[in-house]
Amino acid sequence: MPSLEGADAWLDRSQEHLIEIERLRKPLIEAERDAMLATASFTTQAEGAETFGYSRLKTPAPNRISVLTGEAIQALRRALDYLVYEIAFRDSGSEQDGTQFPIEHSPNVFWSRLNPGRGGYLVGVDRKHATALKRYQPCDQVEWSADLRDLSNPDKHRRLSVLRHLDKTTAARMENDDGATYRNFAATDDGFEVWWTVGDDVHMQLQVTIDIAFESGLGVIEALQEIKAQIAYVLDEFRPCFALGTCPHGVSWGTA
């Protein structure tokens, strides 16, 4: 009987990789944070304004994290491929070779995947189910599937970097200020914060965060967790289809 057990297993596998990436990430971030704090300092400009700075070098992530990232991405794609395989099996009544989850920027190319002579990724899939799958395509302005396709390129995860970037800056006017000048750095779990006096009764707070990111600056764990959550949503949409007589898309078993 067709089922989503295989797709669920690959989704679970992606989570195992993400847990391992997070385990390796924590000490790496802490080491980078400490190195940044060692270089951070304040500088008084000619006009009397005070600024601060720190080293902005990019540190390559360990190869182990790059490998795990690539494996997590492939596990996510396999979860979707298994979904399409099982839908084609369910709709046609027999196993179909060469199926996979298409990720297309052109609606015409997407629909051509129903044709065995045009890639055949959706051979055996009922058109109603194909319509439901199309809602998760880049051609329908869905970003997470486009990100997944882009990140599947090995070059995107061979050279991950530990990136240092400005995350948030806030300025506050301090009531009943005592006139003191503040210059302070404080470590956080994923970077550090800076407070300093920038004018009469005005103090600036700035937060610098550190993460392991793709070359685009997209955080690895954040991006893959988002894609994983979206795939889980897709699987849940199709899950009722594998209970006899309950397909929400109105597709009967073995009729495609």
Decide if pLDDT at 214 tops 60: yes
**14 falls within a domain:** yes
Task: Identify the domain containing residue 88 by its residue range.
Answer: 5-44+63-159+217-242
- Amino acid letter for position 149: R
Tell me what pLDDT residue 166 has.
Answer: 42
Distance CA 184, CA 5 (A): 53
Query: Is 20 within the bounds of a domain?
Result: yes
Averaged pLDDT, 27-45: 83
Q: Is residue 119 part of a domain?
A: yes
Decide if 72 is inside a domain: yes
The reply to whether 17 falls in a domain is yes
In a domain, 204, yes or no: no
pLDDT band at 172 (very low <50, low <70, confident <90, very high): low
The more confidently predicted of residues 13 and 36 is 13
Instruction: Let me know: does 54 contact 39? Beta carbons within 8 Å.
Output: yes
**Is 248 within a domain?**
no
The total of structural domains in the chain comes to 1
**Assign residue 201 a region: left if phi > 0, alpha if psi is -120 to 50, beta otherwise?**
left
Per-residue pLDDT band at 250 (split at 50, 70, 90): very high
Cα 33 from Cα 53, distance rounded (Å): 14
Helices (H) and strands (E) in the chain, counts: 7, 7
Which residues fall within 8 angstroms of residue 62, CB to CB, at 6 or more apart?
Answer: 24, 28
Three-state SS string across 215-233, please? CCCCEHHHHHHHHHHHHHH
In a domain, 36, yes or no: yes
Separation CA 33–CA 166 (nearest Å): 13
Q: 153: pLDDT confidence band, cut at 50, 70 and 90?
A: confident
Per-residue model confidence (pLDDT) at position 118: 66
DSSP 61-98: PPHHHHHHHHHHHHHHHHHHHHHHHHHHHHHHSS--TT
- Nearest 5°: phi and psi at 106? -115, 125
Q: Are the CB atoms for 42 and 52 separated by under 8 Å?
A: yes
CB-CB contact of 194 with 188 (8 Å):
no
pLDDT above 60: residue 254: yes
- The residue among 154 and 113 whose pLDDT is bigger is 113
Residues 119 and 111: beta-carbon distance below 8 Å: no
- Of the candidate ranges 35-49, 76-90, 118-132, the one whose mean pLDDT is the lowest: 35-49
Beta strands in 78-201 (DSSP E): 161-173, 183-188, 191-199
How far CA 9 is from CA of 165, 200, 242, in Å, comes to: 36, 59, 16
pLDDT band at residue 174 under the 50/70/90 scheme = low
